[in-house]
Structure 1
Amino acid sequence: METSAELLYLLKFDKEHCFGFKDELEQSELLQWLLFWHGSGAPYQRNLGYFRRAQEQSDFAIKRFRKETYRVFGVLELQLSGKYTGQTKDYLAGKGKGKFSVADIGTYTDKEMAEYPHLLEWVERIGKRPAIQRGIGGRYKQ
């Protein structure tokens, strides 16, 4: 997962809109999802992972961060499922099915999604991209 600051910097030089949008409303939607994940999902998911690996695990902390992570996953699931728009989305931002953007790069995650089928499909779709495969390749695994 890239930091939001890096991704916003990438957008500054994305003159062909490979990772962003020309349309102002779509660009606004991209920024909303990127910052939603940055401020909500990422911190909870990181804390959940930390307390799972801690020597003296705290059941309270694990339950709390799991609950918050799942709450954020639920919001992402709603967006991708199209529950309120009537159309499922392949990506978080953009008209129609959406378009791969920094909102997807910044939000991409790969854990605990069995209860969120649209989110799981999205993770698989993003994970199959060649650049993502290179980024999560074996040389980066601990």
Structure 2
Amino acid sequence: MQPITLYSHPIGPNPWKVAIILSALRIPYETIMVDFTEVKKEPYVSLCPNGRLPTIVDPNKNITLWESGAIVNYLIETYDPSHQLSYDTSPERHQLQQWLHFQVSGQGPYYGQLGWFRRQPEQVPQAIERYMAEIRRVMSVLDRVLTDREWLVGDKCTYADLSFVPWQDLVPLVVGDQRVVQELTEQFPHVEAWMQRMKARPEVQKVLKEKSEAMASN
């Protein structure tokens, strides 16, 4: 099997979501880092007309694909025939999609917007308050569901769980206030325990280590 090429960035969480799934499924891959200043230019924009990360190129199936949720679905459908990270039963298959959609449309955009507004030289308190409230809302949804279970769907860790790791791991950086981070940890203990379970997995440890090294050398 030829390695899949993953176009990534040291800090951008979405490519690392794909890296975790690739690693969990033991799919060989190579990573090409693309600076944010280059994503709207050639040659990258020919791969991803949206000019965002990640993109994968799979020479085994002759496909180029962008949008992290679509990539995760592709990897699961193509390379998880034994359902290590998925289910082939209903309603579990649909519930996995439910959580992936929630991650893609809820967690990622809201966490990202808070990080963006906090980095601006001219602060907009109303925007920061709004997106901080959304982070609490997203975490409250997860915490409520995880009150009496270890995983989002069924009795095992799936791609739905793992897809939340990179953005959730970035909460201290996105929030930028250790006091608030501690409040979130205490307010949503089931989310914290869930994250610790996932961080104990070898593929998550591997990818987070690679991410830390990439950020240090960036």
User: Which range, TM-score by smaller chain?
Assistant: 0.7 to 0.9
Query: What is residue 141 of structure 1 aligned with on the other side?
Result: 215
Amino acid at match of 2:164: T
Q: Hey, what's the Cα distance between the residues in 1 that align with 2:152 and 2:197?
A: 12
Query: What is residue 70 of structure 2 aligned with on the other side?
Result: 5
The answer as to 2:120 corresponding to 1:90 is no
Q: Hey, what's the Cα distance between the residues in 1 that align with 2:191 and 2:206?
A: 22
Q: Helix, strand or coil for the counterpart of 1:136?
A: helix
> If the length of structure 2 is used for normalisation, what is the TM-score?
0.58
Report 1:1-142 matches (<5 A): 1=14, 2=17, 3-13=68-78, 14-81=80-147, 88-94=148-154, 98-108=155-165, 109-110=168-169, 111=171, 112=181, 113-114=184-185, 115-137=187-209, 138-142=212-216
> What displacement does 1:22 show?
2.1
> What displacement does 1:25 show?
1.1
Amino acid at match of 1:30: L
Moved over 6 A (4+): none
**Greater relative CO (CA pairs within 8 A, separation 6+):** 1
Q: Hey, what's the Cα distance between the residues in 2 that align with 1:119 and 1:60?
A: 26
Amino acid at match of 1:65: Y
Paired residue total: 133
Q: Hey, what's the Cα distance between the residues in 1 that align with 2:75 and 2:141?
A: 25
> What displacement does 1:44 show?
0.4
Q: Helix, strand or coil for the counterpart of 1:23?
A: coil
Amino acid at match of 2:95: E
Q: Hey, what's the Cα distance between the residues in 2 that align with 1:129 and 1:140?
A: 20
CA RMSD of aligned residues (A): 1.4
Question: Percent identity, aligned pairs only?
Answer: 32
Please say which of residues 119-128 and 102-111 is displaced more in the overlay: 102-111
Q: For each residue in 1:54-111, what CA deviation from the matched residue of structure 2 results, as whole angstroms up to 9, or x when unmatched? A: 2222211111100011111111111101xxxxxx1111111xxx31111012122122
Query: What is residue 85 of structure 1 aligned with on the other side?
Result: none
Amino acid at match of 2:200: K
Amino acid at match of 1:67: A
Q: Hey, what's the Cα distance between the residues in 2 that align with 1:134 and 1:52?
A: 29
Q: Hey, what's the Cα distance between the residues in 1 that align with 2:116 and 2:103?
A: 18
Structure in which a larger fraction of residues adopt strand: 2
Q: Hey, what's the Cα distance between the residues in 1 that align with 2:162 and 2:123?
A: 30
> If the length of structure 1 is used for normalisation, what is the TM-score?
0.86
